[in-house]
Amino acid sequence: MKAYASIVLASTLLLPAARLGPRAAETARPPIEGTFIQYEPWMMKLDREAWHLELDAMREAGITLVIVQWLEFQNVRFIPADPSAPDPTDIILDYADEHGMRVFVGLHTEDRWHERFSVPRYLDRAAAMSLRLADLAWARYGDHASFAGWYIPQEPRFAEYGREHLDLLRGFYRRQSDRCRAISGGKPVAISPALPAPRDRPEPERFRAVFAGLLSGAGVNMVLLQDGLGAHRGEYDIDAKVVPYFRAMRDACREAGVELWSDIEIFQRKRASRGSEPAGIERIRRQIDAAAPFVEGFVMFDFFHYMSPRRGEAQERLYEDYMREFLPGRPVDR
């Protein structure tokens, strides 16, 4: 789901007790309560005021959970070396401290992950890079009350893993999740699996079995399943192509004792050119309806690029449609 957004498009420990428990399909549609923030190099130039405007809009839309997708992508580290430069993660955490929000902090990833996820030496190197980054992140940001958890940005995808490959991948996640919890006093760890393209999807039972095997022993606490409606051009039958896989992942997560959330892709591919743009509110409503019976909550990919009223006319229109649809009557101060 998630490469740089402008190019392609991605337990009681987690929530107050009142928010736990699957949402039944017949209840009122819930607002999406979390969002990824996917850093790009140009975003490092935003100052505190600019970030506060973005975060104000998120909070007005009911966002209480922010997932910083990564602190390092390829060779680009999103932690400023200059101590006088704006540090977006520190700014977000400061804001979240003040407003009672939660922040999950992501680690290291790169494009080659999808090509080399079954290569032992590559997995060892990738895990080691994330472990060093986790230590740095905790030393730098760990004093923030809103630092609520960790995010491992390598997105597991369905594959016909042999036992050896499944053991390698499970161990890759376990090394990171164990270290993250150890240095942070047990804070939870999340991952975000991607659904394959519709033509490549296995039978739901096979999908369940593979992810049950992966999650059992991986040490993660929270799965944010991407619904794939943006990445795979969502002009298909959601009930047939998405619902069975949320049901299957729910069953896999139950077996492993892991929370399942939906990661709603709020973008769509442009028809006439490369890139992506905000989706329409009707499709987003159907995405929420489809996943609601199976999940504990919803996050979106991603507010900053596709719903911020400060990013463009299409984003502002989606923001206003979302507010009318899901938060009628809530005052908007912009």
What are the start-end ranges of the E strands in 173-319? Answer: 189-191, 222-226, 259-265, 267-269, 276-278, 298-301
Q: What percent of the chain has pLDDT over 70?
A: 88
Mean pLDDT throughout 112-132?
A: 91
Mean pLDDT throughout 117-128?
A: 92
Distance CA 135, CA 151 (A): 14
Which residues, in sequence order, are bridge partners of residue 224? Answer: 261
The per-residue pLDDT for 114 is 81
The per-residue pLDDT for 19 is 38
Record the tokens describing residue 304, joined without a space.
């900053």
Whether 232 shows a pLDDT value over 50: the answer reads: yes
The per-residue pLDDT for 162 is 79
pLDDT tens digits, one per residue of 35-51: 999 999 999 999 999 99
Look up the pTM and report it. Answer: 0.90
Q: Hey, what amino acid is at 291?
A: A
Distance CA 106, CA 37 (A): 10
Mean pLDDT throughout 277-302?
A: 95
Q: Mean of the per-residue pLDDT values for the chain?
A: 89
Distance CA 296, CA 276 (A): 28
Distance CA 37, CA 305 (A): 9
What's the topology of domain 29-326? Answer: TIM Barrel (3.20.20)
* Residues listed for the chain: 334
Which residues, in sequence order, are bridge partners of residue 149? Answer: 104
Nearest CA among 87, 82, 84 for reference residue 51: 87
pLDDT-wise least confident of 55-59, 92-96, 156-160, 261-265:
156-160
